[in-house]
Amino acid sequence: ADAVRYLNGGFTINDRPKGGFYTDGYRTTGFFFAWLAKTKDPDFIRKINRSTLEVIPWSFEGAFKHIFGESCDIMELWNEYQVAMGDRLRVVK
């Protein structure tokens, strides 16, 4: 829900928490999801929501592989996001 709020003007980039982890929820996850929608797949928000019906049992890893393909590494995306937001200077592998 926080991704949708941000994408529709309910939050500004100044409301984005720095650091954290993609499973922290609320604004941390929301801003990550919004970044994915802006940079990787404009339909990401709908797809992640739909994945709760299509990925059984549901998990972040399973949902991301369902959306981006089996070779998707959620940690690589998270690290790329952290670098893009200036929270990290380089991707940590």
Give the C-alpha separation, 84 to 58, whole Å: 28
Residues 5-58 pLDDT 10s:
999 999 999 999 998 999 999 999 999 999 999 999 999 999 999 999 999 999
Give the model's confidence band at 92: pLDDT under 50 very low, under 70 low, under 90 confident, else very high: low
Domain range summary for the chain, segments of one domain joined by + = 2-84
Cα separations in angstroms, 27 against 7, 10, 19: 12, 11, 11
Q: Write down how long the chain is.
A: 93
